[in-house]
Structure 1
Amino acid sequence: MVQGCENVRPALRRAPRVSYRWVDPGMALQEPGVLAVFGFGTGVAHGADPRWLSVDLESFDAPTPLEVWQVDGPVTHGRVGEVQWSCGDGWLFAAITLDEALHGGPRDTAAIAYAQLCDFVAARREHHVQRIWNYLGDINQGDGDGERYKQFCEGRAEGMGSFFADGFPAATAIGHRAAAMRLQVYLLACDEPGERVENPRQVSAWQYPRQYGRTAPTFARAMTLPGQDVLAISGTAAVVGHASAHEDDLLAQLDETLVNLETLLASAGMPAGFDTQSPLKAYVRHPTDAPLVHDFLQHRLPGVPVLAVHGDICRRELLVEIDGWRYA
């Protein structure tokens, strides 16, 4: 039986509002329409509410804001096995956190995580997955096909099976430095399909050549959410065609990344540029680069909310990656 939230959706679909806010997690979870709340780093509290997720990425900001997703109307939530979830107004948040020590390494852990998430979402009315985030430890460890990211890609493909036969959602995959080798996967889904967006400057990820692993990455560059002009942007870096650009040159990589972001906006028919209502997240490989990334983005994207976190990019030569949202 297909399950869904028992609330009436409005005639005009409205996407979740995403914001960075300095607020107590308990207070945020009490606000109307809160679909999910994310805390970053080892110092954040661990709560029992299924809408709360403590993310294994350290922030460079002190104090660190929370990321809050809100929808119109009431929200219900619960747990099914190892999946935590919440839904409201036709939108679904679902997440799973697995310890590799219990599941056999990055490949098997990814396969289990995706199989459980896909089984859960398939039974929901909100089964159109728009956006996925993947955080795993030591993403660049290992050589050749034994690299942990490539192993993760193989397990992800196995776990999802044919679930995304009609096309992949937008996604991010980043490495964390937490002591526990945990895989965290969370997603945003809807009861209506979105529209996938590719970047004409880049080869589509699922068409990458063999040098990037036995199993190509499986994601779209962005997704236009249902009902209004909101773009969910995948992790975007200095990749042109399928090759990394500007090795060891942080400023050049940042500049190339912004070109790719603007190209995505144009491909989606969105207005150029980002504004105060369009939060971004910057994943920075080296903590010593964080001040330079901060200054660069403040200068190039004045007023745009940017949360900078310590994260390893899926390719060793890439120093920074940016994802986020564009609200028209």
Structure 2
Amino acid sequence: MVQAGENLQVRLGLSRTPHVTYRMADPGTVLTEPGTLAAFGFGTGSPDSDDPRWLRVALESFDAPAPIELWQVDATVVCGQQEAVRWSSGGGWLFAAVEVNEHEAGGIESAARQAYAALCQFMGTRDERCVLRIWNYIANINDGDDDAERYKQFCDGRAAGLGDFFANGFPAATAIGHHDRQHVLQIYLLASADAGQAVENPRQVSAWRYPRQYGRTSPGFARAMLMPARDALAISGTAAVVGHASAHEGDLEAQLNETLTNLEALLATADMPAGFDTHSPLKAYVRHPTDAYRVREILQQRLPGVPVLLMHGDVCRRELLVEIDGWRYS
């Protein structure tokens, strides 16, 4: 797989996928390194920076202090801000981020509509128009009942803001709830000048085909995205969902095992090597802080040596206790 990916990259002139790592470092240091496309801090203890490539994610980490997540490319990087969108680009890759205060926007649905409309308008000005991966961090994601649940309202607003932007297929994505007192919707993405290949999980119904019980608007995302050079798989938020139903309600260990089975199914479908290694950074989002120790223990047993950021985050379905996303490099 590695050799085939390298041959394809040479033949098509594709740029290698950004290298994603976790590192204990100061943002001022990593932002001066050549090729830094984006850097992320986590939680209230994370420092601020006015560099457009820096984003303080509202999720708290169970690791103290929390490492920085770093994206780097083999190219010179330029960055700036265009209206509400912060961006950086280099080597055919683009990072873009937008944050919208819900109170100013008039609620989560309006905030999602505004955020995605701004991103779509910005992407229309870029050569790197192939959106491959999106992250959405939403305050109190499970508050409200039935169609009034905040995640479902977010899905409605996102669809309205997007219009037909993803008419040819959805990117990989994550949507996780944070607990920051400020109701700020955070969205950021990775795009490329070249298209990737969406990957679905044969164990699961595709998210855009979910039945009505999951809201007026089905979630719009692919389960994973094979990068243009076929050298990495970007994995969407993955939980204990089989078919379209949540599995093992109330059983943390069973849900985590089911999640890992789903991850392996994605790797197999994408023709990626089985398992994860020391160069495959993952994030595990844990609903209840009291479960964090057990999640860490199981992941260390099942995925020895794999870098995992353990985050306090709510999964989009309230019965789900843990979700995992991340990267698998070939």
Give the TM-score taking structure 1 as reference length.
0.96
TM-superposed CA distance for 1:72, in Å, is 0.6
- What is the DSSP-based 3-state SS (H/G/I as helix, E as strand, rest coil) of the residue aligned with 1:30? coil
How far apart, in 2, do the equivalents of 1:80 and 1:159 lie? 18
Per the alignment, residue 258 of structure 1 pairs with: 260
Q: Which blocks of at least 5 consecutive residues in structure 2 are unaligned? A: 1-11
CA displacement 1:170-220 (0-9 Å, x = unmatched): 000000000000000000000000000000000000000000000000000
Per the alignment, residue 314 of structure 1 pairs with: 316
TM-superposed CA distance for 1:228, in Å, is 2.9
Per the alignment, residue 149 of structure 2 pairs with: 147
Root mean square deviation, CA, Å:
0.8
Q: Which blocks of at least 5 consecutive residues in structure 1 are unaligned? A: 1-9
Per the alignment, residue 49 of structure 2 pairs with: 47
Per the alignment, residue 35 of structure 1 pairs with: 37
Does the 8 Å CA contact 1:238/1:245 hold for their aligned counterparts? yes
Per the alignment, residue 183 of structure 2 pairs with: 181
Per the alignment, residue 198 of structure 2 pairs with: 196
How far apart, in 2, do the equivalents of 1:100 and 1:11 lie? 42
- What is the DSSP-based 3-state SS (H/G/I as helix, E as strand, rest coil) of the residue aligned with 2:111? helix
TM-superposed CA distance for 1:268, in Å, is 0.3
The letter of the residue matching 1:41 is G
How far apart, in 2, do the equivalents of 1:169 and 1:256 lie? 23
189-198 or 225-234: which moved more?
Answer: 225-234
How far apart, in 2, do the equivalents of 1:288 and 1:179 lie? 21
TM-superposed CA distance for 1:227, in Å, is 1.1
How far apart, in 2, do the equivalents of 1:228 and 1:96 lie? 28
2:103 is equivalent to residue 101 of structure 1: yes
- What is the DSSP-based 3-state SS (H/G/I as helix, E as strand, rest coil) of the residue aligned with 1:167? coil
Identity of aligned pairs, percent?
67
Per the alignment, residue 303 of structure 1 pairs with: 305
TM-superposed CA distance for 1:221, in Å, is 0.1
How far apart, in 1, do the equivalents of 2:175 and 2:60 lie? 15
The letter of the residue matching 2:219 is P
The letter of the residue matching 1:92 is L
Per the alignment, residue 268 of structure 1 pairs with: 270
How far apart, in 1, do the equivalents of 2:284 and 2:63 lie? 12
How far apart, in 2, do the equivalents of 1:152 and 1:123 lie? 25
TM-superposed CA distance for 1:122, in Å, is 1.8
2:86 is equivalent to residue 84 of structure 1: yes
TM-superposed CA distance for 1:270, in Å, is 0.3
Per the alignment, residue 168 of structure 1 pairs with: 170
Does the 8 Å CA contact 2:16/2:231 hold for their aligned counterparts? no
Per the alignment, residue 210 of structure 2 pairs with: 208
How far apart, in 2, do the equivalents of 1:218 and 1:122 lie? 20
Does the 8 Å CA contact 2:89/2:95 hold for their aligned counterparts? yes
The letter of the residue matching 1:101 is H
How far apart, in 2, do the equivalents of 1:160 and 1:188 lie? 16
- What is the DSSP-based 3-state SS (H/G/I as helix, E as strand, rest coil) of the residue aligned with 2:31? helix
TM-superposed CA distance for 1:12, in Å, is 4.4
Per the alignment, residue 22 of structure 2 pairs with: 20
How far apart, in 1, do the equivalents of 2:150 and 2:46 lie? 27
Does the 8 Å CA contact 1:175/1:313 hold for their aligned counterparts? yes
- What is the DSSP-based 3-state SS (H/G/I as helix, E as strand, rest coil) of the residue aligned with 1:141? coil
- What is the DSSP-based 3-state SS (H/G/I as helix, E as strand, rest coil) of the residue aligned with 2:283? strand
- What is the DSSP-based 3-state SS (H/G/I as helix, E as strand, rest coil) of the residue aligned with 2:116? helix
- What is the DSSP-based 3-state SS (H/G/I as helix, E as strand, rest coil) of the residue aligned with 2:300? helix
TM-superposed CA distance for 1:229, in Å, is 2.2
How far apart, in 2, do the equivalents of 1:118 and 1:266 lie? 32
The letter of the residue matching 1:16 is P
TM-superposed CA distance for 1:11, in Å, is 3.1
How far apart, in 2, do the equivalents of 1:43 and 1:243 lie? 37
Per the alignment, residue 238 of structure 1 pairs with: 240
Count of residues in Structure 1 that have an aligned counterpart in Structure 2:
319
How far apart, in 2, do the equivalents of 1:80 and 1:160 lie? 18
- What is the DSSP-based 3-state SS (H/G/I as helix, E as strand, rest coil) of the residue aligned with 2:234? strand
TM-superposed CA distance for 1:13, in Å, is 2.1
The letter of the residue matching 1:144 is D
Per the alignment, residue 281 of structure 1 pairs with: 283
Per the alignment, residue 5 of structure 1 pairs with: none
- What is the DSSP-based 3-state SS (H/G/I as helix, E as strand, rest coil) of the residue aligned with 1:326? strand
How far apart, in 1, do the equivalents of 2:48 and 2:260 lie? 35
Does the 8 Å CA contact 2:14/2:228 hold for their aligned counterparts? no
The letter of the residue matching 2:213 is Q
